[in-house]
Amino acid sequence: MGAFYSREEAESRLTFSDGWKFSKNSITKDFVFKDFSAAFAFMTMVAIEAEKAMHHPDWSNTWNKVSITLSTHSAGGVTDLDLKLAEQIDKKAKQFAK
């Protein structure tokens, strides 16, 4: 797992995406889909990836919007686990591009 990253370190490692933001020792991103079914399907795919990684997001869903927050609580901030899962999440989101 390793130590957690500072804001600057985390942001420099988020080069694979321009939607993730650093906030309160975590990274967050909002995803918008065409409808509720697409948002729910995306969440299902993310849940499978999160379970494989044994690292689970904090998230919410309102109709076609999914908000995701990643942080390694046991480390007190953003670690490689979060960055790797964020990259997988972005790959899944591309399958549902609006």
pLDDT score for 98: 53
The structure tokens listed for 23 are 């906030």
Average the pLDDT over each of 5-14, 62-71, 89-98 and give the range with the smallest value. 5-14
Q: Where are the domains of the chain?
A: 7-94
Mean pLDDT of 1-28: 78
> In the prediction, which pLDDT does 16 show?
66
Output b/e per residue, 11-24; b: 16+ Cβ within 10 A: eebbeeeeebebee
- Reported as a pLDDT band with limits 50, 70 and 90, residue 2 is low
Please say if the pLDDT value at position 21 is more than 80. Answer: yes
What's the Rg (C-alpha) of the chain? 13
Task: For residue range 36-59, list pLDDT tens digits in order.
Answer: 999 999 999 999 999 999 899 999
Residue-level pLDDT at 9: 81
What does the pLDDT read at residue 5?
76
Q: Was domain 7-94 assigned CATH 3.30.1360.20?
A: yes
pLDDT of residue 3 exceeding 90, the answer is no
